[in-house]
Structure 1
Amino acid sequence: MTTQADAEVGFGGQQPKAVRKALGMLEAVAHLGPGATAKEIAHFAGVAPTTAYRMLNLLVAEGFLVRVPDLSGFALGRRTVELSRAAVETDTSPTLHETVEDLRSHTRFGLHVASFAGGRLRFVDQDPDHEIVGIALLAKNLHSNALGKIMLAHNTEMSVGLELRKLTDNTVCDSETLEAELSRIRLVGHAFENQECRMGRSALAVPIRNHGAEVVGGLCLQGSPLRVSPAEYEQLAFLHDGSRRLTGLL
């Protein structure tokens, strides 16, 4: 039923639903990051593909989205960025980056944040002083790194039929061994990577949750195998405290 208020602003019929779908698609691009494909956006926003393509073209035409240079996907446009900037300027609560930067000031190790939105491992805040060597391997080999294991542990269907490539002599390539490790991760609340993706690098990771307690990403501490270890209680305490501070910011 169309109300008098709807009529006054020109809203009626299917228009409110269309607005909600368009906003959901903008949110999808924000979560999935630059290069998100139309199919990924439609799935994330719960919009039919044909409707998604039509709305994406409209959002691009209006400047809320742009196509990435190779035309394979989409990114946030100028008008959306302007709205985001205005929101940040009026919000006095700490942002994710500000919180992570404060955490970095209390550790000598590399500290990185990744998002799991859309079923992809994507770094959203990399430590500028600690480069992630071979970063492309992490998202493609979830079984071989601490963040990937956190993602698999809390998205159990993703480990079914997963290709367990051997990257180093330490990489876990047996499905039963991996499943046992993922069960342990869910129990203890952290994951450990011991030179499994790259020799000379170890890492600890803990989940980051939203306000609904769902795991939406991970916080990772990276360093030398001689210094980073789950036996170091202070490292785990630091990560869990950081995870609590990042709740709802990802």
Structure 2
Amino acid sequence: MTNKNKTVVRSMDILNLFIEHTELTFQEIIELSEIPKTSVYRMLKSLEEMEFLEKGPDAKYRLGMLFLKFGHLVSSRLDVRKIAYPIMKDLHNDVKEAVNLVVRDGEEAIYIEKIDEKQKVRLYTAVGRKSPLYAGACPRAIFSFLPEHEVKDYLDSVELKSYANGTITDREKLLVKIKQEKEQGYTISHSELENHTSAVAAPIYNHLGEVVAGLSIAGIEANYQGENVDRFARKLKKATAEISRQLGYEQL
């Protein structure tokens, strides 16, 4: 075991103490962890700086705000997936195309659920895969429906890279696309993340009216033309409206 790995393991040993203890003094951490005093001191300083732990005015250590942030993220993602899954299943059985669920993960979207049992041609998407927010209908189902200042800040901070023949890498063209998608209430992509594939997607909102996820129907490009797009969009928006409703969203 390398020194780096040993430090990580020992730091986790310290954090695990707080599963059973709400607060601990420096000396109590030393006694419970059986780690040398100098090592405990060094690790506590690092954990405090990273907000994993916080030290109160009484000199006792407690779990820091970072755990609240992570806990909220995990909870919200589990809630979305749990509510969405049966609705995704019904939608998949209806359209026989892949149905994907994504949530935001920083500057990317991460796929947290996928159902494609009845789809004849399997796509590149997989649970755990990440994609940039600006590329592909499902990630853009989140991105296009963010507040304008968030869209601008994001575009100011990232380089628009090409992933397939249809990836939009021109900022002005992307802004026009986002405006159009916001007006129509759904997103559509052709060969943006993988050539010869298409998707139609729509946003999912929480009880605060914030977009928290995107749901898509995806498949080979030939199936996403003309009336099929309208049909998929209609069924998709019905599904996302129901998921949003179960998350507490009340549409005005």
Per the TM superposition, whether the score is higher than 0.5 is yes
Indicate whether 1:238 and 2:235 are aligned: yes
SS in 2 for 1:121: strand
Relative to total residues, which structure has the larger strand share, 1 or 2?
2
Shift of 1:151: 2.4
Q: Report how far residue 135 of structure 1 moved.
A: 5.1
Superposed CA RMSD in Å reads 3.7
Q: Secondary structure at the match of 1:178?
A: helix
Inter-CA distance 249–120: structure 2 relative to 1 (3 Å threshold): farther
Q: Aligned-pair distance for 1:137?
A: 11
Contact 1:147–1:205 (Cα < 8 Å) also in 2 = yes
- Any stretches of 5+ residues in structure 2 without a counterpart? 1-21, 23-46, 55-60, 248-252
Instruction: Tell me how far 1:218 sits from its aligned partner.
Output: 0.4
1:240 CA drift (Å): 0.3
The amino acid that maps onto 2:52 is Y
- Residues 164, 117 of structure 1: alpha-carbon distance in 2 compared, 3 angstrom cutoff: closer
Equivalent residue for 2:167? Answer: 171
Structure 1 partner of 2:158? 162
In structure 2, what residue type is equivalent to 1:223?
G
**Alignment correspondent of 1:133:** 124
Alpha-carbon distance, 1:184 to partner: 1.1
- Indicate the larger mover: 123-132 or 236-245: 123-132
Which structure: larger Rg?
Answer: 2
Contact 1:144-1:196 at 8 Å conserved across structures:
yes
Which has the higher mean CA deviation after the structures are superposed, 172-181 or 143-152? Answer: 143-152
Q: Secondary structure at the residue paired with 1:212? A: coil
Amino acid at match of 2:239: G
- SS in structure 1 at match of 2:164: coil
Q: Is the 8 A contact 1:138 1:197 kept in 2?
A: no
Q: Retained in 2: the 8 A contact 1:111–1:127?
A: yes
Contact 1:192 1:229 survives alignment (8 Å): no
Is the CA contact 2:131–2:139 (under 8 Å) kept in the aligned structure 1?
no
Q: Is the 8 A contact 1:204 1:229 kept in 2?
A: no
Summarize the alignment of residues 219-234 of structure 1 with structure 2, pairs less than 5 Å apart. 219-229=215-225, 231-232=227-228, 233-234=230-231
Match of residue 97 from structure 1: 85
CA contact (8 A) 1:109 1:222 kept: yes
Q: Secondary structure at the match of 1:217?
A: strand
- Aligned counterparts of 2:127 and 2:98: Cα–Cα separation in 1: 17
Q: Could you tell me how far apart the structure 1 residues matched to 2:206 and 2:110 are?
A: 17
Matched length: 177
Equivalent residue, structure 1, for 2:195: 199
> Per the alignment, in what secondary structure is the counterpart of residue 95 of structure 2?
coil
Q: CA deviation at 1:204?
A: 0.7
Contact preservation (8 Å) 1:152, 1:159:
no
Q: What is the Cα deviation at residue 75 of structure 1?
A: 9.1
Query: Retained in 2: the 8 A contact 1:96–1:249?
Result: no
Which secondary structure state, in structure 2, belongs to the residue aligned with residue 168 of structure 1? coil
1:111-161: CA deviation from partner (whole Å, max 9, x where unpaired): 111112655412221115255416599734332211222222224132223
Does the 8 Å contact 1:146/1:204 carry over to 2? yes
Match of 2:140 in 1: 149
For residue 52 of structure 2, what is the aligned residue in structure 1?
53
Aligned residues of 1:117 and 1:216 also touching (Cα < 8 A): no
Match of 2:244 in 1: 247
2:201 is paired with a residue of what secondary structure?
Answer: strand
Q: Identity over aligned residues, as a percent? A: 17
What letter is aligned with 1:106? D
Distance in 2 (CA, whole Å) between partners of 1:95 and 1:132 is 24
Structure 1, gaps ≥5 residues long: 1-18, 20-47, 60-64, 66-73, 82-87, 89-93
Please give the alpha-carbon distance, in whole angstroms, between the structure 2 residues aligned to 1:163 and 1:119. 11
Separation in 1, partners of 2:143, 2:204: 14
Query: 1:97: Cα distance to partner?
Result: 1.7
| Aligned position for 2:204 | 208
Paired letter, 2:134: H
